Each structure stands twice: as C-alpha cells, then as structure tokens.
Amino acid sequence: MLGAGVVIIGNLGGQGALEVQGRVQGNLRLDGPLTIGRGGTVIGNITAHSVSIAGSVHGDIEARDGIEVQGPGSVEGNLSAPRIGIELGAEVRGLVQTGGAPAQKAPGQKAPAAKAASPKSQSVESSGAEPLLDEPALRPAEGSSPAADFDDVEADEDLTEEARDPAEAEREEADPGALRARRRRRRRKRRSDSADPTSPASDEGWLESAPAQPAPAPAHPEVPAGPPRPPTFQKGAHAQRRRS
C-alpha cells in the first residue's frame, strides 16, 4: 500500500495486491488487484489483474479481470477489460471497451453482437456535471440489475453484475434501443459461446496494447483484433453459462 504522502515517479510493476493512495507518475503494471483509493492519483497507463478506482487516473487502463470506477473516482483514458463497472458519480472520459464484446472478430453468428457493441463503445462520457443524463441510465442498472436483467442470477455473481451493468447502462444512455439489443445479444452470446469452444492465440496482443497512448485512437485497431481476447471472453462466457 502506498499512502497519501507517497509520490512515485517512474514505472511500477510486480505481483500481489497494491493500493495507491498517493501519486504515481509512470506506468503501472501489476499482476494482482490494484486499488486506487480516494486521493490516489496515477498518471500513466495501468495494466493489472483488476482495477478499482476511487481516485483519479490519467491514462489507459487494461485489466484481465475487471475495472471498477467508483463514485468518487475519475478516469481520463481508455478502459478495457472483460468487465467494467462505472458507478454513479464517477467521471470517465475515454473509450470504454468491455471484453464481453470480442465477438467482433468471430464470423457468422457473432456478427450481430459486434455490430451492436461497436457503436456503443464509441466514447462514453459521464461526469458529475451531467447528472441528469447519468442517473436514469445508471440507477436501475446499479441497484436492481441482477434481478431485473436475469431472474436466475445469483447474488454471489454480483461482482460480475456490478461490473458489467453500469457500463452497459451507460452505453444504453448513448443508444436507448440497446437494452433490448443487449438482452438479445447476451442470449445469443450465451448460446454461441457454448457452441464455440475455440480459444485461439495468446494474449500477447492484449498485453502489448497496454502502453498505448491515451488517445482514443489506439483502441480502435484493437476492436478487430479479436483473437487476443477470447481467453478472457471464455471466462465471461463461463460465468454466463453458470448463470443460465
């Protein structure tokens, strides 16, 4: 844990859990859960197993597992993870991409999912300054999402749910028709996942894209670069299968 008075200028890497309440100016690469507490600041790109943000980040964030931007948190940069959660009150400026939509690359059956996902992952911008926009979209997703979206969802899945839903809710904000599309997509995904056991390639590409510049641009080439994702996707798929 790095307390409030700690300033690190340079790159930081390693294994295990890390909590930053101070300031890191440099890239952060952690094989473990990363927490950026209130008052914590990271200026640089982050790669970690999972990232929970209550402070502020200027840079891209990639997580193998999930990203959670909490109420007081703010992110200026792109988010990329299988599961992303953005709480009400969090500020996010950048491209948000959940790994749940790596279907893009897959042919045939998965094409619709890709189509539905790509316009929505364009640029999600939410901030406390626009509560009117955010609230209606986020609230139902945060509190009641599991029950509302899946009757059969267990409470112990709530990390998954929490992580997934607010992000998607935000996309809905950009595309109101997405709710239906999303459900359709999920159902389809669930079906196609169980029918598609392929998990090609390594996650090299995924890792290498980590130090990408904060600009939204570099994330786009990533969209068609589906192959690196399927491993994580499979994970998500597994969770979804469990659900059903």
Partner 1 sequence: MADSIIGPGIIIDGTVQAEGDLRILGRVLGRVSVSGTLELAPTGSVKSDVVGGRVLVAGMVEGNVTGTERVDLLAGARLLGNVKAPRLTIADGATFRGKVEMDL
Using CB under 8 A as the criterion, which residues of the chain lie in contact with partner 1 when the complex forms? 1-18, 21-22, 25-26, 30-32
**Strand ranges (E), 117-213:** 124-126
Tokens of 114: 């890709």
- Closest to partner 1 by CB, 46 vs 219, is 46
Instruction: Indicate the DSSP class of residue 157.
Output: G
Question: How far, CA to CA in Å, does 41 sit from each of 21, 28, 71, 131?
Answer: 7, 12, 15, 24
Q: How far is the CB of 24 from partner 1 (least distance, A)?
A: 9
CB-nearer residue toward partner 1: 44 or 99: 44
Q: Which is nearer to partner 1, 9 or 215 (CB)?
A: 9
Cβ at position 78, least distance to partner 1 in Å = 23
Measured from the CB atom, the residue of 26 and 140 that comes closer to partner 1 is 26
CA distance 114 to 181: 11
The minimum distance between CB 75 and partner 1, in angstroms, equals 22
* Cβ 15 to partner 1 shortest distance, Å: 4
The nearest distance, CB 47 to partner 1, in angstroms, is: 14
Cα gap 242→175, rounded to integer Å: 28
The burial class, CB within 10 Å (0-12 / 13-18 / 19+), for 9 is: exposed
In the bound state with partner 1, the residue whose beta carbon lies nearer, of 52 and 145, is 52
Alpha-carbon distance of 15 to 23, in angstroms, equals: 19
Please check whether residue 98 is in contact with residue 224, taking contact to mean a CB–CB distance below 8 angstroms: no
